[in-house]
Structure 1
């Protein structure tokens, strides 16, 4: 059973080995001992595990020895927004969901914050500043505005690619909360919400940023933001950037057929 299929209101009525037995009032479910299940059914944080962008954040206050930590759900149950103290918010990639929830479990079970702070710092170092990118796009439109759809995960570009805040490029083949397949040296099962595609946009990020001020409202565009904008521009003009009609025809056909197949599988 996937986390998305779990009942939000259930009780643990037994445990054996590495599993729990859940009772939701109608039936019982056997689930593994994971951070998600323990947070939801033992520690009372089902709102965090099952929440969406409208759910209030879970706040762990800091003190002289420990930083404050804020964890907010998004509209994808695999992505959370993290903030440590007053530093910029960051989001985990879908594959990092368990690390976030394990870090939260460490806080509520043992008041330890080392794991989630370490994860936050990793993401902050690698991730583009989403708010700053929005400001740049609104002011200068370095990427054709009609090409972009803003999401919690990053920018959906040309209704074909998802460029995440960490700079990874995915094909948007299904709903973000449904399992799919990862493409990387072959095809394998993945719990990511879209399909990874090993595109490496070539060129100089300075090209797309030539007409931009590197400082916007007192904030400076760094290397992560410059690379993100270059990749977004490259993807918005993908047929011009990579002159291979056969390749792009195959990519577009794959996305269309996968979406159609997924739509047909959904219950009425």
Structure 2
């Protein structure tokens, strides 16, 4: 029982911290669960972890989301920008190709490559803002980039921030675009997974409750920290972290 609780705490913290940072939550969850053979990891727990993150981002941006009724343009842009990921993600899910990508070798290379891409995109100073510069063409391009996040190690947050930086948005607004796009992405992932859960026999137990609560708390404070951090510093620390993780994985894989 204690070991199950410890595993859920670790998985919840990994999900909450890595979901909204440009370091790939799926990569961390796959690697940790594989290397340490977590017994508590299951489809229901995965749904619970994503649900906690979804509730956290909705709660954090609750004022902005309420204000979307007066900002139909931004609401429409977020919806349009999410369509590519939802469509391709559903196709990969139905064909089960999504599971083929959950390979540590793939994760190692994508962690390294897209870390370098993030560094290059973040090097220059840009000052575009959501309020005045985000349009349909730009959000669709960012949405197309977001498809790459279906590959573990790319990082949904990382690739959307990278794309927004490429289109010359400042770091804060790039991050905000990423967070807003996270809501449809997490909702879609939760719905697909929940459908599978409902087709199985399951029990809503204390582990599920712990997973949702801890994922919610760690996600909320991660978003809060990241938006404060990004106003003052570059993304270099996350690039360095990705390179270190990739090198560790290379040692594990090829040694």
Q: Shorter-chain TM-score: which interval? A: under 0.3
The structure richer in helix per residue is 2
The structure richer in strand per residue is 1
- Report the TM-score when normalising by structure 2: 0.26
**Structure number with bigger Rg:** 1
